[in-house]
Amino acid sequence: HTEENGVSFASAEDKAIHLAFGFRAKKSTGGYRYYWFLKGLPELMAIESKTTEDKADPESAKFKVGFMPLQNPKGKRRWKAQAEDSDTFNGEGWFDQVVYDGSPFAADTGSKAIDLGK
């Protein structure tokens, strides 16, 4: 977006960012299953609100994300990474960076994954 006199303008030349979504799910055995969904493209849903005479009842903005395959050097088109706690895997560093092709890789900036809470 560009800003002019304090007003933000969107244009057809804007490029949407791709994102990765990582989370863990508790298993019935007590361990965790870890996930990364790769190359997500977010899309803002319509924002609706209800109004009555003097009060507005706004709703939260919602978005949906579609995840697409990434092409890696070995020709595999991966869109998800998944692992489970085991003798050979420890999820301690799973959220430090996006996991792809069996090893972590960071965004173009080289920064760590952004933690939005657990």
Report pLDDT digits (tens) over 2-46. Answer: 888 999 888 888 877 778 888 888 888 888 888 888 888 888 788
Q: Are 95 and 115 in contact (CB under 8 A)?
A: yes
Q: pTM, whole model, 2 decimals?
A: 0.55
Q: Are 66 and 72 in contact (CB under 8 A)?
A: no
Which pLDDT does position 115 carry in this prediction? Answer: 54
